[in-house]
Amino acid sequence: MSRRRGDVIKGTLDMLILQVLDREDLHGWGIAKRIQQSSKDVLQINQGSLYPALHRLLDRGWVRSVVGESGGGRPVRVYSLTTDGRKQLKSERETWGQLSAAVNLVLGTG
Amino acid sequence: MGFMRKWIERLRNLAFPEKAAEQTLDEMEFHLEMEIQERVARGVPPDEARRQAMRDFGGVDRYREQVREARWGTGLQDGFRDARYAVRALIRRPTYSLLVLGTLAVGIGATTALFTIVDGILLKPLPYPEPEQVIRVENSWNGSPQARLSPPEHLDLVDQLEDWPGMGSYTFGSATLTHDGPAERARVAFVTAGVLEALAISPAMGRVFTEEEDNSAAAVMILTDGYWRSRFGADPDIIGKTVQVSGFEREVIGVFPPEFRMPEDLTSPTPTQFVVPMGFDPTISRDVRGNHFLLALARLPQGMTPEEGHQVLAAAGMRMVEAYPNGYPEDMGFRTAGVPLLDSLVGPVRPMLLLLLAAVGMAFLIVCANVANLLLTRVTGRTHELALRKALGAGRLRIVAQVMVESVLLALAGSALGIAVSAAFSEALVALMPAGIPRIEDIGLNPKVLFFGVGLGLLAGLLFSAAPAFYAGRENATATLKSGAQSTGDIQGDRFRRWLVVGQVAVAIVLTTGAALVTKSFMALAKVDPGFRTENIVSASVGLPSASYPTDEEVILFWEAFLADAAAIPGVTEVGAVTNLPLATRLGDMSFELEEERIPEGRDKPDSDWQVVTPGYFAAMGVRLQRGRAITSEDRPDSRGVVVINETMASTHWPGQDPIGRRIRLGGELTQPRWAEVVGVVDDVRHLGLDQPRRPQMYFAHTQFRFWANGRPVRSLTLVAQSSIQASGVQAALRGRLADRDPSLALSQITTIEDAFSNSIAQPRFASLLIASFSSIALVLALVGVYGVMMVAVRHRTREFGVRMALGAAPNALAGKVLRDGFKITLAGTAIGLVAVLASSAVIERFLFQVSATDPLMLTTTVLAVMSAAGLASYAPARLASRTDPILALKAE
């Protein structure tokens, strides 16, 4: 499969989800929408990777889920960040900062 | 906190996988709906919006699977699911499942039962502290591989092993005990103080005796727990009480703990009841080295191995030989040795048990092969299903795992059933076991045995599922789905199955040959003429306490009177008495000199087994007189000394001459020489067992014989009575006559010669019976294997046969082809089996009596039998092949 514009670089999706959940608790669709909006529609989140990613984060204890209500009044899983998740976000942000700085240096765009 | 939540979440998902999946599905549906709404809001018509959203989203099912796999514990869940699936699949095929389970239960049951017995007898440690430090001390010389010690040798060894924790000697006897009630014969152990130190045993109550009490033959006794309970009602105040033992008072000074056994009690059904000091005077002359009647034990010092201990003992033995050259002639080959106690007790039965274990192990291999065959058939039957699952995305590992889960489930259920079977089976085996097998009471289910059973099951599971799982995993999905019923798995499976069956036939040949040889050997043994009659003879022992029969005259008078009493019992035709009953007790040997041939100093004198008999013994026992006369009532204490010898003694010392009238000299340097004239020759009696070589034997008159040690006659004799009535009637009458004559006496070792005879060959009979049953089971299973593999092969080749028939092949030709095929498999197996038999003939021969392991007649018979049975087993498949309907066969695809 060829890489399309807007595909999320492998490994960064977890960080993006954690970042979104750091601001507010959201359901799965909301998370996808928020990432899309924040990136000005550059980043398109594929549902096929979103839900496995969410369950991976649940499994590692970085997010938790409760049954909340959607805007339409139907019950839906709402995800929020745990203390461990916040710590993880912090370390991932640091790593990302170093990485992107390094990539920029190489590309001469810094 | 986070850690807890993480695991709660994981466990919840594991426990309620349906709920987790449902939630996932819910939120995906919600996601899809939101996407549709968003598109509708942008002005896309609802139908188009749904189509686009669905397209972008992809298959819900696939995502759900990915979500599931992202979670921890998925492998475990798969395992559970496979297990559930396997259970359901097994229940749906009850015949198949029961066949596999039944085969497994028999295989695991028999093997575990035998292991239970081997464990109880050979492996369990002896009931003494640090049992591996206890060794048996024994002598050996030419012709006597395991001989006992004499009192001077015991004293010398005690001196030489002073720095060892304990060394002592003991012997057994019976005594008449009187205490609150009728007199009773009891088994008593005479032990030196060193024996109690060597066994490191401390009493449960009271104390043990000291070395001083031992040396001074103090009138004390220690009761075993069992006797204390049965005879003294577990009297808590027993210590200090006095009891009449053979007419003398003895004080009870201790009671042993319940687990205490004298080593010989482990091999004998009659346990020791009390223990008294041996009472050797350490100051006796040590010049007389003969009279070997002591069993001996020693405890090795910490850190000394049994082998090192043996070296120390061997060196001590050499020093004795140097110190007393007259006692140990050069050509005697005298040695002293140390053997681990456990080896010395179970050594005699070890080869038989290991042989049985090997036999059952081979039967178990056949069981595994059969089960593997069944599983393989099932897997190849499922080729289509498995290929389909693979096409739908199941990984190869998942498929292999699924097949293995089913096998492991079967194996575990089989072990559980097998352990239940083995409990019943080992009980039955113990009940069948001949008398005198050591440590029967130690046989039983224990964690080691359970572990063995389950381990065996799992091993079987792995063994018989490896190949099917391999084929299942390798199955080429596309090829299978395209090719229809015939698949690569079928052909590979068939080839593998063939080799399994070749192996089965080979093992069956080894087992059947072994069983045939062992059975033939047993039959040869049972046909040996024991030299006496075995039917309608009752025997019982009586011992006379020296307190109530102090003089020689009283002893002789008692026996004459009691034998007359016994002869008067209605139905009793012949009565006599003897010191040692054939096949039941060992004999001592005695050296002698021939009148016409004096033995020079330093040369070993000839010796012979000896018995003391009363008039009537030969007639009562049915020992045939060849020439001369038997011992009669004319042989009085003061008349000419006489001896009756057996055929072997006559031909050894007077070959080709008439021994009647020759004289032998007994006693030698020990006492006044005593002359005995040969008056008769009788048939050889196989005293030690039917498989034992003939030995020279001599019989003295009870009235004339005197022990060299004390110059007194024999006090304990075994009466034998031939009768025309029931043994139990004779025994009851004997008891009554004895009570009339002297109520303080009791009969012991009441038995019939028939029982003694049957006990003497019980061990080989037991072994041959068991091997025969294992080999029949194995043979039947192997035939089932041949039948199964041929049947499956024919089914797989239905199309081929159909084509051949359509092209004009005769049905008989097809049947012949199948038969030839079966024959090839059998032939290959037989050849391999025969090579194995010939290669191991040296080992097999150790278990055989008068039969050669390479006996051509036996080998040919077994091979022909197995091959014709295998031919029969392929008959049904051959018929099936000959009845192939070409039209049906070709349409079936």
Whether B701 and B586 share a structural domain: yes
Residue B612 structure tokens: 């003391």
C-alpha to C-alpha distance for B873 and B867, rounded to whole angstroms: 10
Is B539 among the domain residues?
A: no
Subunit contact A28:B72, Cβ cutoff 8 A: no
Check residue B621 and give its pLDDT: 94
Q: Is B5 on the interface with A (CB under 8 A)?
A: yes
Structural domains of chain B, count: 4
| Local structure of B43: helix, strand or coil | coil
Whether B834 and B705 share a structural domain: no
Whether B830 and B716 share a structural domain: no
| pLDDT bracket for residue A10 (50, 70, 90) | low
Question: C-alpha distances in angstroms, B662 versus B154, B633, B665, B671?
Answer: 37, 21, 10, 21
Q: Is A52 on the interface with B (CB under 8 A)?
A: yes
Residue of A29, A49, A50, A87 to mutate, interface with B, max B Cβ within 10 Å: A29
Q: Strand pairing partners for B217? A: none
Residue of B8, B11, B27, B68 to mutate, interface with A, max A Cβ within 10 Å: B27
Name the domain boundary from B332, B361, B383.
Answer: B332
Q: Is B70 on the interface with A (CB under 8 A)?
A: yes
β B589-594/B607-613 pair status = antiparallel
Cβ neighbours of B129 (radius 10 Å)? 12
Low-confidence ranges of chain B (pLDDT < 70): 1-7, 9-25, 57-79, 143-144, 269, 288, 290-291, 380-381, 383, 391-396, 435-436, 464, 467-493, 584-588, 598-604, 667-673, 707-710, 890-893
Is B691 among the domain residues?
A: yes
Closest CA to B788 of B512, B505, B515, B510: B505
Is B111 among the domain residues?
A: no
By CA distance, what is B61's nearest residue in A? A48
Q: Is A86 on the interface with B (CB under 8 A)?
A: no
Whether B411 and B496 share a structural domain: yes
Subunit contact B24:A47, Cβ cutoff 8 A: no
Q: Is A87 on the interface with B (CB under 8 A)?
A: no
Check residue B532 and give its pLDDT: 92
Q: Is B59 on the interface with A (CB under 8 A)?
A: no
Is B751 among the domain residues?
A: no
Check residue B254 and give its pLDDT: 94
Q: Strand pairing partners for A75? A: A69
The answer for residues whose C-beta is within 8 angstroms of residue B667's C-beta and 6 or more apart is B673, B674, B708
Is B492 among the domain residues?
A: yes
Subunit contact A32:B1, Cβ cutoff 8 A: no
Contacts 24+ apart (CB under 8 A), B583-588: B583/B530, B583/B686, B583/B687, B583/B688, B583/B689, B583/B756, B583/B757, B583/B759, B583/B760, B584/B749, B584/B751, B584/B756, B584/B759, B584/B760, B586/B688, B587/B611, B587/B687, B587/B688, B587/B697, B588/B293
C-alpha to C-alpha distance for B223 and B658, rounded to whole angstroms: 54
Contacts of A18 in chain B (CB under 8 A): none
β B184-191/B166-178 pair status = antiparallel
Whether B322 and B355 share a structural domain: no
Residues in chain A: 110
- Can you list the positions of beta strands (E) in B489-630? 537-543, 572-578, 589-594, 607-613, 625-628
Distance to chain A for B874, nearest Cα, Å: 57
| pLDDT bracket for residue A4 (50, 70, 90) | very low
Contact by Cβ (8 Å): A59, B58 = no
Closest CA to B734 of B573, B538, B559: B538
Question: C-alpha distances in angstroms, B106 versus A78, B232, B455, B473, B816?
Answer: 58, 46, 15, 30, 35
Q: Is A56 on the interface with B (CB under 8 A)?
A: yes
**Residue A24 confidence (pLDDT) above 80:** yes
**Residue A3 confidence (pLDDT) above 50:** no
CATH fold, domain A13-107, is Arc Repressor Mutant, subunit A (1.10.10)
Spatial strand order of the sheet with A75-81 comes to A26-27, A75-81, A63-69
Name the domain boundary from B332, B363, B388.
Answer: B332
Distance between the two ends of chain B, CA-based, in angstroms? 63
Whether B220 and B355 share a structural domain: no
Q: Is A32 on the interface with B (CB under 8 A)?
A: yes
Whether B317 and B227 share a structural domain: yes
Name the domain boundary from B30, B52, B72.
Answer: B72
Domain that holds residue B595: 549-743
The answer for residues whose C-beta is within 8 angstroms of residue B822's C-beta and 6 or more apart is B786, B790, B870, B871, B873, B874, B877, B878
Position of tokens 């972008």? B56
